[in-house]
Structure 1
C-alpha cells in the first residue's frame, strides 16, 4: 500500500526560498498552457500531449527536460482525476457544479499548486537530512529538512515521486512510500463503530469517544473568525491568516488518535471493524440553521479514511454497512420504530423495554450487520493467517 511521508524544508537563504517559489509559479503556468492544449484538442493521454507541448513549454518557460515531462504528467493526471470524479458523481453537491459544467472547462492550476519531482531532479541525503532540488534558478543543494521519526523511518524505503508544496510561505515535500501490506486475518468477531457529531465514535464495546472538546473548539474558532471579519482591519486580516487551518489541524489530530485507538482495539481482540457507509449524508439530512455548521464540519470521511489505512497496515479487515435505521432498531429484539430513540443519548425499546445509550445501541446494530454481511460473502474475505 502507498502512504505519504511529509517533511518540512528549511531553505538556508531567502534566495533559495525565492527560487522554490518561482519554480512552482513557472511550472504551474506551463501546466496551464498544456492544460489548454489538452482540453482544446482532446489530448488527455500522456504520450500524445507530450508530443504536442513538450518543446513549447521547454522554450517558453525555460524548463529542463525532466521538469517539462513532470508538468505534462501532472496535467494528464489532473484530467484523469476529473474523469474519475465525474464518473463517480463526485463533482459537487446538488445545485452547485453540474457534470456538464465540470466537463466544459479546462483544468486550471493555481500558481502555488504542488509540483511533482522524481529522482532525476530531486536527490535525498537521509544521513545529513538534506535534499538537492532542481529550481528554475539552478539546482539548490544541501537544503535541510525536518520530519517526525516515523516519517524518517518511512523515507528509508522511499521510491517514486515526491511533491513540492508551498503552504503559508513554508515549503514541504510529500514523499510517496510503498510499504508492504500484511494479509488480512480472518476475524474472530466484529467491532461496530457508530460515527456521530455529539460523540465522534462509539464502539459496540460501549466505549464512547466524545466530540464535546472538538465541537467546543470549533465554536470558539468560529466566534473568533466572526469577530475578526467584522473588524475589517489589517491587523485583523493578519490574525485571520495566522489562525487559518488551525481548526482543521486540530480535528485531524483528533481523528488520527481515535482511528489509532479503534484499530489497536480490533487488532488486540482479533476482530474486524464495521463502519457505516455515510456517503452523501449531508445531502440527505436536513439540519436546522444553528446545526448546519456542525454538520458540514463533521469530518466523518476523514476519520473513515484514517481507520481504513491504519487497519490495512495492521492486517485488520474493515466492513462497510448500510446505516439506515441503526439508531431506531433495538439491538436485542430487532424491533424498529422511530419512537425507540427517545433523545439523542437515550434509547428505549417499545417492544422489549431495554434501555441503553443510543449510540451504543447503534454500534451494536452496526456490528451485527457487519457480521451478517461477512457471512453472506458481501465483502471480500481475506486469506486466514496465523496471528
Structure 2
C-alpha cells in the first residue's frame, strides 16, 4: 500500500530562492510543451518522452535529465483529465514532481533531503509531525516526490510504502449514507450532523464577502491569513468521521458499504441559493479517507447503487416515492414502518452489500 505524507522543508533564504527558480524553470518548460502536447493524438508518457526529451534539453540547457522527464510527464498527465480542446497552462510556482534521482533523503529518518535545483544540488532540513515521522521512519519511499510552494513555505509530498494488511472476510456490512444535512449516518443509527460544519462555512462566507468589499490592505492580509482555515476544518471533520466508522466496522467484524456517488454533481440540479452548499459537499474526500483507512486496517469496502435506498422499506421491501414524506421522515405506505430517512437509507445500503449485489437497483413498485 502506498500512502502520501506531507513534510515541510526548512531552506535558508538563498536555498528558498533556488527552489523558487527551479519551480519557475520547470513550469516554464511545461508551458512550452503544452501547446505541442495538445496537438498530439497520443497520451503515452513514453512515446512523448522520446519525441520531446532532446528538444527540451536543447531549448532549456539548465534543466537536468530527471526533471526533463518529469516536466514531460507532468504536461502529458494534465491532458489526461479535464476538458478536451483546452491548452493547459502552468503557474510559475505550481507544484512539480521530482524524479527519484533529483530528490534523495539524507537518511532513513528523512531528517533532510538532497534536492536538485537549477543552480546545483542543495541539502535542506525537513521537519514533520509525530504521525508523519512514525509513518516514514525506516520505510521505503516510492516513485517521485512533489515539491509544493504555498504561503511562502515549501513542502514535499512523499509516497511511502506501507505493509499490506490482510483484508478480513465480512459477511455483514455497516451501511453509510452520506449527505449534506447529515454528513454521514450509519446503519446502527449513529448520526454525524452537518449543521456545525455548514454554520462554519456560512460564517466564513460572510467574513470573506465583508473583507472583499472593504478592499483595504489589512482586509486583504486577513483574507490571505484565513483562506485555508475552512478547508482544514472540513478536512479534520472528515478525518474524524472516517476514523470512527472504520474502528466500529473493525471492532464488530463488518465491512463498510458506501453509495457509489460518481457523477452526482452533474446529474443533480439544485436551486441557485443551494449551489454553494452543494458544491462544497465533501463526500468524495470522505469516501477517499474511508477507503485508505479501511485498507490500512484490513476492512473491506463495497460501493453499491444508491438508487431508491431512501425509498425502500427495510421491513416489507416496498419501494415507492411516497414512502419518503419529507427529507427527514420515512413512512412506508404499505406496512406503516417509519423512521429517519437517512437511517433507513444506511440500512438498505448495508443490506445491498450483504446480498453481494452492489450494482443491483430496485425498481419502483407501484401500488393500486
User: What is the TM-score of this pair, normalised by structure 2?
Assistant: 0.89
In structure 2, how many angstroms separate the alpha carbons of the residues matched to 1:286 and 1:121?
Answer: 47
In structure 1, how many angstroms separate the alpha carbons of the residues matched to 2:146 and 2:333?
Answer: 57
The answer to whether the aligner puts 1:199 opposite 2:182 as a matched pair is yes
The structure-2 alpha-carbon separation of the partners of 1:160 and 1:128, relative to structure 1 and needing over 3 Å to count, comes to: closer
Deviations for 1:23-49, whole angstroms, at most 9, x for unmatched residues?
101011012222333334556444443
- 1:139 corresponds to: 121
In structure 2, how many angstroms separate the alpha carbons of the residues matched to 1:229 and 1:214?
Answer: 22
Q: CA RMSD in A?
A: 2.2
In structure 1, how many angstroms separate the alpha carbons of the residues matched to 2:333 and 2:359?
Answer: 31
Matches within 5 A, 1:151-300: 151-155=132-136, 156-157=138-139, 158-300=141-283
How far is 1:247 from its partner?
1.2
In structure 2, how many angstroms separate the alpha carbons of the residues matched to 1:41 and 1:285?
Answer: 34
Q: 1:149 aligns with which of 112, 130, 144?
A: 130
In structure 2, how many angstroms separate the alpha carbons of the residues matched to 1:15 and 1:40?
Answer: 39
The structure-2 alpha-carbon separation of the partners of 1:54 and 1:330, relative to structure 1 and needing over 3 Å to count, comes to: same
Query: Which segments of 5 or more consecutive residues in structure 1 lack a partner in the other structure?
Result: 86-90, 92-101, 380-387
The structure-2 alpha-carbon separation of the partners of 1:24 and 1:377, relative to structure 1 and needing over 3 Å to count, comes to: closer
Contact 1:202 1:363 in 2 (8 A): yes
Contact 2:305 2:358 in 1 (8 A): no
Which range moved further: 179-188 or 36-45? 36-45
In structure 1, how many angstroms separate the alpha carbons of the residues matched to 2:49 and 2:272?
Answer: 50
- 1:120 corresponds to: 101
- SS for the counterpart of 2:91 is coil
Matches within 5 A, 1:27-106: 27-40=26-39, 42=41, 44-61=43-60, 62-79=62-79, 82=80, 85=81, 91=82, 102-106=83-87
Deviations for 1:159-197, whole angstroms, at most 9, x for unmatched residues?
321111111221100011222322322203111101111
Query: Which segments of 5 or more consecutive residues in structure 2 lack a partner in the other structure?
Result: 361-368
Which range moved further: 30-39 or 271-280? 30-39
How far is 1:9 from its partner?
1.0
Deviations for 1:329-349, whole angstroms, at most 9, x for unmatched residues?
221122223332233332222
- 1:350 corresponds to: 333
- SS for the counterpart of 1:160 is coil
How far is 1:313 from its partner?
1.7
Deviations for 1:197-231, whole angstroms, at most 9, x for unmatched residues?
11111110111111121111111111111111211
User: What is the TM-score of this pair, normalised by structure 1?
Assistant: 0.85
Contact 2:303 2:358 in 1 (8 A): no
How far is 1:288 from its partner?
2.8
- 1:337 corresponds to: 320
Contact 2:4 2:157 in 1 (8 A): yes
In structure 2, how many angstroms separate the alpha carbons of the residues matched to 1:161 and 1:210?
Answer: 39
The structure-2 alpha-carbon separation of the partners of 1:43 and 1:29, relative to structure 1 and needing over 3 Å to count, comes to: farther
How far is 1:140 from its partner?
1.5
Deviations for 1:130-183, whole angstroms, at most 9, x for unmatched residues?
112111122121x22222223223323223211111112211000112223223
In structure 1, how many angstroms separate the alpha carbons of the residues matched to 2:35 and 2:21?
Answer: 21
- 1:97 corresponds to: none
Contact 1:37 1:43 in 2 (8 A): no
Q: How many residues align?
A: 356
Q: 1:107 aligns with which of 74, 88, 105?
A: 88
- SS for the counterpart of 2:262 is coil
In structure 1, how many angstroms separate the alpha carbons of the residues matched to 2:309 and 2:240?
Answer: 25
The answer to whether the aligner puts 1:129 opposite 2:128 as a matched pair is no
- SS for the counterpart of 1:103 is coil
